[in-house]
Amino acid sequence: MTKLLDKPFKAFTIYALIILLVSIPIYFLVVDWIWLTEIDDHHEIAMERIEDRFKEAYLSGQELDTILNSWNMLQPSSYIVPLTGTIARPDSIYEVTKYNKYEQESDRFRGLQTVIEIDRKYYLLNIETNVEEAYETIFAIGLVTVVLYGLLVFGFIQLNRKISKAVWKPFEITLSKLKSFDLSKNQEVTFEQTDIEEFDELNTTVSRLIAENIIAYNQQKAFVANASHELQTPIALLKSKLDLLLQDEKLNATQSELVNAIQIPLARLTRVNKNLLLLARIENSTYSDVEEVDFSEKVAKSEELLQDYLMEKLLTVKKIGHSICHFECSKFLAETLINNLLSNAIRHTTQNGEIIMEWSKNGFSFKNSGKEALSQDSLFKRFSISTTETTNSGLGLAIVKEICRQNGWEIRYRFENSFHNFSIAFQKF
Amino acid sequence: MKILIIEDEKELASDIVKFLAEEDYRCETAGDFATAKEKVSLYQYDCILLDLMLPGGDGFEILAHLRSQNKQDGVIIISAKNTLEDKIKGLNIGADDYLAKPFHHSELAARIHSVIRRKQFDHLNLITQNEIRIDLLSKTVQIAENPIILTKKEYDLLLFFIGNKNRVLSKSALAEHLSGDLADMFDSHDFVYAHVKNLKKKLNEQNYGGYLKTIYGTGYKWGI
């Protein structure tokens, strides 16, 4: 994943690189052209000036020869020689590379060759100027370009960093608030004011979305609580009528079996409803009866309560205390948690299976033998079906999870060595 | 024996009346707060069954009113609000017991028995039924002067049976009595068989009257 600002940054850098690379030959051509044009102009002017000066000097043939001799000997960049033969040759501009003995290297020269008339005689005038070598120009331009490109990229990086820090700050704040948002915690989310239109819009939209979600969530919670509350009376009446029916002496065997068969789904209905109410109550209450709970003590109590069910399935129970396990929790929640985990283990262990309870000062775990791993995703959700067994109310683990959430503990499920392992850590794993 | 059933759900109240009718109880009902308050002020009952959520008022107020008048009627709260806070509050104000709805009538009958027993000072600690004598203080059982040793669960079951004589008791009612709230976490209550079987065996060894009968497909009955 790339950061949002890195995308244009990359494009900008590549674009700048292309433009600067293209600029190198363009600069060279432009500089070279200006240079040569200037030199040619200069040669033109020099030529006209030489011609005019010789004309105005009115030199005799002898004088002229002497002057031309010394001119040709002393002038470094030009010479004048008398022309014989055809004089009908045009001005020519040429470039030549020749050895420069003063610089001990080959240099590029730009020259102008023309015919001038002095005292009705024709002479050949040649002017040459040393021009910078093409590769030297390109090298200089290239060097400057590279340095400039470096500065440009460095600037981009710095600006990018600065902009992303400043401009994206409201976004980061919004994001971190959303990350820590937990619908079930019933917390309000307020976003900071921002002067960037897009972020302001984002914040408004997200706020509205959250507010709507909270309302829907609360309505749903209230609905579940109300529905299960309303179900209590009919369930109580059903149970009551069945009890009365059972006492009827005229009841024959088939009928009493039917009554008994009704008791089983009724018990399940009672259980589901009771657990729904319990879950709603845990979600909605703050528990003030917090006390120091000794895990081994509670687990012994729970084991005693469930002794009959343990014996019925001939389960082996192992208890391993690595160190004393004390924690602060509501007594009611602690008992509910442990009872739920232990009865869950009992329910899902087959005959002659094994249950291991382990605890240390950091947490505790319940393990029970099993065949295959349960689905991690749906395990703690309400009414999720993780096994084919029907006795499950589908709420036991949801209650366990809710109690853990209330206490800020973490619960984790693993399947290892043919054991289902539910472990609870007081601090994050 | 007089029992007042304060319960706004008329059906449930009349079911309780029917269930308890076989014993020598005289049941009265009150369906709302005002009637209930009037009745508890005017008369004395051996046991009052008190629902907490009543039309016109809170059941706790009736309890508080009763105790403020120094009346010692036995009170069992029967409430759908199965919360620990309510339970503690009720017992603190002076309720003798707390039973969460929905309940088996047999459980209620056993609780009423126990409350009334505690209120009667003359044979407070002793239940006698023909050759069976139960000492509630020392939790010992004798059959024709011969002591028998029962486990805690067997002892609980015996009391439950005697408190529900001549009634058919389903397995689930027995399991709920033994395991309380936790019973409804399980569908199978086969362990009840084992406890009843052991109890029966121990009673038979001392040649009791064979009151405990298995009702096929349904449960058990302590028939006298």
**A304 shares a domain with A272:** no
Neighbours of B54 (CB within 10 A): 22
Chain A residues in contact with B188 by the CB 8 A cut-off are 312, 391
Amino acid symbol at A244: L
A91 contact partners, CB below 8 Å, separation of at least 6: A112, A113, A114, A115
Query: Does A180 fall in a domain?
Result: no
Closest-CA distance of chain A to residue B170, Å: 8
**CA atoms in the 13 A half-sphere facing the CB of A306:** 29
Q: How far is CA A250 from CA A236, A247, B173, in A?
A: 24, 9, 21
Using a CB-CB cut-off of 8 Å, the residues of chain A touching B102 are 232, 235-236, 238-240, 270
For A389-428, letters b (16+ CB in 10 Å) and e give eeebbbbbbbbbbbbbbbbebebebeeeeebbbbbbbbee
Name the packing angle between helices B152-163 and B191-205 (round to 10°). Answer: 80
Residue A169: inside a domain, yes or no?
Answer: no
Contact B107, B161 (CB under 8 A): no
Same domain flag for A336 and A403:
yes
**A345 and A379: one domain?**
yes
Contacts of A261 (CB under 8 A, 6+ apart): none
Query: What pTM does this model have?
Result: 0.67
Q: What is the CATH number of the domain that holds A356?
A: 3.30.565.10
Write out the two tokens for B111.
């609780």
Looking at the structure of chain A, the number of domains it has is 3
**Best residue of B185, B193, B220, B221 to probe chain A, by most A CBs closer than 10 Å:** B185
Which residue of B lies nearest to A309 if distances are taken between CA atoms?
A: B191
**Does one domain contain both A144 and A209?**
no
For residue A187, tell me if it sits in a domain.
no
pLDDT at B61: 92
Domains of chain B, each with CATH number or no CATH: 2-119 (3.40.50.2300), 152-222 (1.10.10.10)
The label of the residue with tokens 């995308």 reads: A7
Which amino acid is located at B77 in the chain? Answer: I
- The answer to whether residue A189 sits within a structural domain is no
Residues A31, A98: one domain? yes
Question: Among candidates B59, B151, B76, B166, which has minimal Cα distance to B113?
Answer: B76
Neighbouring residues of A244: CB distance < 8 A, sequence distance ≥ 6: B15, B18, B19, B105
Domain boundary among A281, A304, A323: A281
d(CA B111, CA A218): 39
Rounded to a whole number of angstroms, the distance between the first and last alpha carbons of chain B is 20
Radius of gyration of chain A (CA): 49
| In a domain? residue A161 | no
- Are residues A341 and A322 part of one domain? yes
Q: How do the pLDDT tens digits run along chain B, 224 residues long?
A: 899 999 999 999 999 999 988 777 899 999 999 999 999 999 999 999 999 889 998 999 999 999 998 888 899 999 887 777 788 889 999 999 999 888 999 999 999 988 888 877 655 678 888 889 898 888 899 998 889 999 999 999 999 998 888 888 888 889 888 887 777 777 777 888 889 999 999 999 888 888 999 887 788 999 88
CB distance from A241 to chain B under 8 Å?
yes
Assess whether A10 and A145 both reside in one domain.
Answer: yes
Binary contact (A263, B84; C-beta < 8 A) = no
Q: Residues with Cβ < 8 Å from B149, sequence gap 6 or more?
A: B202
User: Do A221 and A308 sit in the same domain of this protein?
Assistant: no
Mutation target vs B (from A243, A263, A304; most B CBs, 10 A cutoff): A243
State whether A57 and A101 are in the same domain: yes
DSSP string computed for B25-74: -EEEEE-SHHHHHHHHHH---SEEEE-SEETTEEHHHHHHHHHHTT---E
Q: Taking residues A180-191, report their average pLDDT.
A: 78
Q: Tell whether A171 is covered by a domain.
A: no
Specify the CATH number for the domain of residue A241.
Answer: 1.10.287
Are the CB atoms for A39 and A45 separated by under 8 Å? no
Instruction: Check whether residue A109 and residue A224 sit in a common domain.
Output: no
Last-in-domain residue among A130, A154, A178: A154
- Residue ending a domain, among A96, A124, A154, is A154
In which domain, by residue range, is A205 found? 197-281
**Is residue A211 located within the same domain as residue A266?**
yes
Cα separation, A368 vs A346, whole angstroms: 8
Same domain, A39 and A133: yes
pLDDT, tens digit (0-9, with 9 covering 90-100), for A94-147? 888 888 777 788 888 889 888 888 777 888 888 888 887 778 888 888 899 899
Q: Has residue A174 been placed in a domain?
A: no
- Whether residue A238 is contained in a domain is answered as yes
